[in-house]
Amino acid sequence: MASILSIGVDKKALADRQRVLREAGFEVVSSGLDDSLDVLARSTRFRVAIFGPSVPEEARNRIAAKLIRSSPQIKIVMLYEGKIRKAEMANAVLASAVRPKDLVQTIRYLTESPAIEQQGEGQSA
């Protein structure tokens, strides 16, 4: 099953997201904005990175760009509260109050679509 990197500042929201995704069968690693995030990004190949709404926009864009540079196949999901100004790097943008089943469905879509799967594995579509 796909490896997911869940990034956030709110520890309860990170734990809730991790529980929902693990129950759906995904491998999930949660991280705050500390130095361990850089180590994780360099040492593990994640299929999807989820940014919680508590991640400041500047950090969100900087981290997303770094993840995409190191793993071009990674899919970016941004959760937001209110308005999100910059989401150009996102493959999906969802309200932070998204229902758990809708979050799971989005992650499945991003990781199981045949065209996405083939491109992520370096094969032609």
- Tens digits of per-residue pLDDT, 61-86? 889 988 998 888 999 999 988 776 67
- Tens digits of per-residue pLDDT, 8-43? 999 999 999 999 999 999 999 999 887 777 777 777
What integer best gives the mean pLDDT of the chain?
83
Which whole-number Å values give the CA distances from 109 to 1, 36, 40, 52, 104, in the listed order? 13, 28, 24, 19, 9
Class of domain 3-115: alpha beta
- Ranges of each domain in the chain: 3-115
Q: What would the mean pLDDT of 93-105 be, rounded to a whole number?
A: 92
pLDDT at 18: 95
Q: What is the pTM of this model?
A: 0.83
